[in-house]
Amino acid sequence: EAGVAQSPRYKIIEKRQSVAFWCNPISGHATLYWYQQILGQGPKLLIQFQNNGVVDDSQLPKDRFSAERLKGVDSTLKIQPAKLEDSAVYLCASSLGVGTTGEKLFFGSGTQLSVL
Amino acid sequence: DQQVKQNSPSLSVQEGRISILNCDYTNSMFDYFLWYKKYPAEGPTFLISISSIKDKNEDGRFTVFLNKSAKHLSLHIVPSQPGDSAVYFCAASPTGNQFYFGTGTSLTVIP
């Protein structure tokens, strides 16, 4: 079974530039998540989609971050413009999304972003 | 507001001994708990879980214990192996598909 695919693996940009990350979840998984993991911290949820609708984006800095999940499958996360504090690993995860106890998250390998 | 806490950033254990990783949570609505393991440059991978209707779940060398009254869970690894060296995250979820992660504990198993 194919896992969660993310690209690129690494990205280095200068502050104020734009960047986009792509995620393809496990086939059949209705729920897709974007997490931000800053060095030394645990993953922090940025946005959660159920199919192509947003469930939770309360911690997404909407002045610079945006995300979409067209057709309820692939998703892109964009940062525009980037700041130094955005340097982190951006993890995409998916789950079946049936909403019952016992669900598990499956993570991609992440995109490591360095903002200089 | 950190709802899931792992107060030990790091832990070193001798090979063959027991590793105990701890996790505390504050939200009484959490009823499902998971442990994830993360190697460098990889995404977290699921290790073991426990539902709030249980106080123990075992899978090979890994056992998770849940103390609901104390809002505390722990992961025991016996015996510890060098390949277990990784960062371990606990996560908690209310019924549904929201997940809250701790800050992680870096485990080093010394050969």
- Cβ separation A42–B102 shorter than 8 A: yes
**Cα–Cα distance, B19 to A53 (Å, whole number):** 41
CA neighbor of B5 nearest in space, from B106, B76, B108, B105:
B105
DSSP tag of B96: S
* Nearest beta carbon to residue B51 from set A35, A98, A101: A101
Chain B contacts of A105, Cβ < 8 Å? 34, 36, 44, 46, 91, 99
How confident is the prediction along chain A (116 residues), in pLDDT tens digits per residue? 679 999 999 999 999 999 999 999 999 999 999 999 998 889 999 999 998 899 999 999 999 999 999 888 999 999 999 999 999 999 999 998 876 777 889 999 999 999 99
Q: What is the pLDDT of residues B52-110, one digit of tens each?
A: 999 999 999 999 999 999 999 999 999 999 999 999 999 998 876 788 999 999 999 99
Nearest CA in chain B to A109: B43
CA neighbor of B32 nearest in space, from A78, A95, A113:
A95
Specify the pairing of strand A5-7 against strand A53-56: unpaired
